[in-house]
């Protein structure tokens, strides 16, 4: 009998040595201490085979083994829990001395950066910055700007109509009219903003792009003022010692009209890739405000005169940042935009 209890004890210690988890500990408890089929309970069944004098001693030994098994299991249970807790703490440990992963900050779009620079330059010359509607009536986008009813630019092949009476503006020149309706001369304003045209996108065209309009109306404004202003702008924007040239052109809302170019800041007029070998870079359109336009907004063209200009912001951004495809400006590819942070 004693032999058998000792065997149970030895088997128990072997089982215990092999244990690693709390779950297997539960199985061991069942195996030895289970009330019905546990090994210790089973050995108690033999008690009947013993003589009366042996029974008390056997009972004592069984109880002792029972307590021993109970105590050992308890001890191991505490040990395994402690080990698990320690492992969990280690796993979840936060090293507060590690450098942080800083949140990446946003930044302004290249078009915005260039627009702000243009605004700063003209504000420094005494201009104020105006805003105007992007959805416009034909009156402000065409009629008031002396654009005849038959002009091809009005066609729905060139202009995005929103309804019979409204279209997305095709030029920022509409702000000239809004401004002169509100304000009487002297006035000096620029109006940067989006314009829309039914163009097929290619490296130099996009159906939506940015212009900056300029308007200066006062007594005795002449073409010399226009030339001086744009030449100064070119110097401040692209570099001192650059020259401008004014080529005769035609716009319905100016007379006379001129296309403005400036000498290439890369080759200084010699001809290179940036100026496509011409030595000159196109800046935009300009001219003296047409008397019809002044009359339409109730300004007497005998008393006042003015100049106006319209320049492409996208083109300037492309030049300043060396971008060879303006569509990149509108694709919102972060890898592209991040370069201008």
Contact residues: ligand DAH, CB under 6 A: 171, 173, 213, 251, 254, 285-287, 308-310
Residue closer to ligand DAH, measured from CB, 38 or 214? 214
Q: How far is the CB of 308 from ligand DAH (least distance, A)?
A: 3
Q: If you search the block for the tokens 């002009």, which residue do you land on?
A: 151
Whole-number Å distance between alpha carbons of 33 and 73: 10
Question: What burial class does residue 1 get, using C-beta atoms within 10 Å of its C-beta: 0-12 exposed, 13-18 middle, 19+ buried?
Answer: middle
Whole-number Å distance between alpha carbons of 299 and 43: 119
Q: How far is the CB of 240 from ligand DAH (least distance, A)?
A: 25
Q: If you search the block for the tokens 């045209």, which residue do you land on?
A: 197
Q: How far is the CB of 257 from ligand DAH (least distance, A)?
A: 6
Run of H or E including 316: helix 313-321
Residue closer to ligand DAH, measured from CB, 46 or 222? 222
Q: Using alpha carbons, list the distances in angstroms from residue 340 to 22, 112, 127, 206, 314.
A: 59, 11, 27, 20, 14
- Tokens at 144, concatenated: 């008031």
Contact 315, 282 (CB under 8 A): yes
Q: How far is the CB of 120 from ligand DAH (least distance, A)?
A: 20
Q: How far is the CB of 178 from ligand DAH (least distance, A)?
A: 14
Residue closer to ligand DAH, measured from CB, 264 or 313? 313
Residue closer to ligand DAH, measured from CB, 265 or 309? 309
Q: Distance from CA of residue 318 to its chain's centroid?
A: 20
Q: If you search the block for the tokens 């004890």, which residue do you land on?
A: 9
Contact 234, 262 (CB under 8 A): yes
Around Cβ 176, how many Cβ atoms within 10 Å?
Answer: 29
Q: How far is the CB of 253 from ligand DAH (least distance, A)?
A: 6
Q: How far is the CB of 165 from ligand DAH (least distance, A)?
A: 21
- Tokens at 39, concatenated: 């090994």
Residue closer to ligand DAH, measured from CB, 38 or 315? 315
Residue closer to ligand DAH, measured from CB, 65 or 230? 230
Around Cβ 216, how many Cβ atoms within 10 Å?
Answer: 23
| Three-state DSSP state, 242 | coil
Residue closer to ligand DAH, measured from CB, 254 or 263? 254
Q: How far is the CB of 261 from ligand DAH (least distance, A)?
A: 14
| Three-state DSSP state, 56 | helix
Contact 89, 30 (CB under 8 A): no
Residue closer to ligand DAH, measured from CB, 43 or 296? 296
Strands 128-129 and 187-196: parallel
């Amino acid at each position: 009998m004693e032999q058998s209890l000792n065997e149970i004890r030895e088997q128990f210690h072997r089982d215990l040595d092999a244990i690693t988890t709390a779950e297997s500990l539960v199985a061991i408890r069942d195996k030895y201490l289970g009330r019905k089929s546990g090994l210790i309970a089973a050995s108690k069944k033999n008690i009947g085979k013993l003589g009366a004098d042996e029974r008390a001693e056997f009972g004592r030994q069984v109880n002792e083994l029972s307590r021993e098994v109970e105590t050992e299991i308890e001890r191991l249970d505490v040990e395994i829990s402690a080990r698990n807790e320690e492992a969990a703490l280690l796993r979840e440990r936060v090293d507060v001395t590690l450098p942080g992963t800083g949140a990446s900050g946003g930044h302004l779009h290249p078009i915005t950066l260039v627009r702000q620079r243009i605004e700063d330059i003209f504000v420094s010359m005494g201009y104020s910055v105006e805003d105007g509607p992007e959805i416009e009536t034909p009156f402000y986008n065409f009629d008031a700007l002396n654009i005849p009813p038959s002009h091809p630019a009005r066609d729905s092949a060139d202009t995005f109509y929103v309804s019979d009476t409204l279209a997305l503006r095709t030029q920022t020149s509409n702000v000239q009219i809004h401004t002169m309706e509100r304000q009487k001369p002297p006035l000096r304003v620029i109006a940067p903003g989006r314009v829309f045209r039914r163009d097929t996108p290619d490296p130099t065209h996009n159906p939506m792009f940015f212009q900056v309009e300029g308007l200066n109306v006062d007594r005795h404004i002449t073409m010399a003022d226009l030339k001086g202003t744009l030449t100064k702008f070119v110097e401040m924007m692209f570099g001192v010692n650059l020259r401008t040239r004014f080529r005769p052109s035609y716009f319905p809302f100016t007379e006379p009209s001129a296309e403005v170019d400036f000498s290439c800041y890369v080759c200084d007029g010699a001809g290179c890739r940036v100026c496509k070998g011409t030595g000159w870079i196109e800046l935009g359109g300009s001219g003296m405000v047409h008397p019809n336009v002044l009359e339409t907004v109730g300004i007497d063209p005998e008393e006042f005169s003015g100049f106006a200009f319209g320049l492409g912001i996208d083109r300037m951004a492309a030049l300043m940042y060396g971008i060879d495809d303006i569509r990149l400006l509108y694709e919102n590819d972060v890898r592209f935009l991040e370069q201008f942070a």
